[in-house]
């Protein structure tokens, strides 16, 4: 569900405090060179959740024509960190994650949906599920659980951005 659809749903209360957080996150993600390199897109963003997706391209496949496990791992790594950052608007870094590959990732597209299980001031716990899209049908290909380190804003202010 998109931000716009969430705000139109009568059961979902508008969250005006989230708009500046979402803008900062989208700007930050836009500066990630690896997102562009992989061709991933931030398709949905809401408080406590994030969806990333990537279309099939030959350079993302392994020798059997399946999405490489590294693409799945990247989506999990990034989506869980982004989802954690939505909770309070804090910068975040992955501390660890456990990834279970459930089935081969084939198809036209990979989609990773991450959701915060437990927000925290220092560590957030985030779950993610990855699906491949085959002929318009989603197939569950991976699941993960991540611990995300929540950083104070002044820490990231001291780190020079590669785009700077």
pLDDT tens readout for residues 71-126: 999 999 999 999 999 998 999 999 999 999 999 999 999 999 999 999 999 999 99
User: What one-character-per-residue DSSP string does 87-149 give?
Assistant: HHS--EEEEEEEEEE-S---SSEEEEEEEEEE--SSEEEEEEEEEEEETTEEEEEEEEEEEEE
Spatial contact of 43 and 53, defined as CB atoms under 8 Å apart? yes
Entry pTM: 0.86
């Amino acid at each position: 569900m998109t931000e716009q659809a969430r705000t139109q749903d009568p059961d979902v209360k508008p969250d005006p405090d989230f708009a500046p957080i979402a803008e900062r996150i989208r700007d930050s993600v836009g500066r990630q060179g690896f997102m562009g390199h992989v061709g991933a897109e931030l398709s949905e963003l809401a408080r406590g959740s994030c969806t990333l997706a990537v279309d099939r391209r030959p350079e993302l496949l392994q020798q059997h024509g399946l999405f490489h496990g590294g693409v799945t791992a990247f989506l999990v790594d990034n989506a869980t960190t982004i989802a954690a950052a939505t909770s309070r608007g804090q910068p975040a870094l992955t501390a660890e994650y456990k990834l279970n590959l459930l089935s081969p990732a084939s198809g036209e597209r990979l989609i990773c949906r991450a959701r915060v299980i437990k927000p925290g001031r220092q560590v957030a716990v985030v779950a993610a599920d990855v699906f491949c899209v085959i002929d318009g049908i989603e197939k569950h290909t991976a699941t993960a659980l991540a611990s995300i380190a929540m950083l104070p804003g002044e820490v990231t202010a001291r780190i020079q951005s590669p785009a700077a």
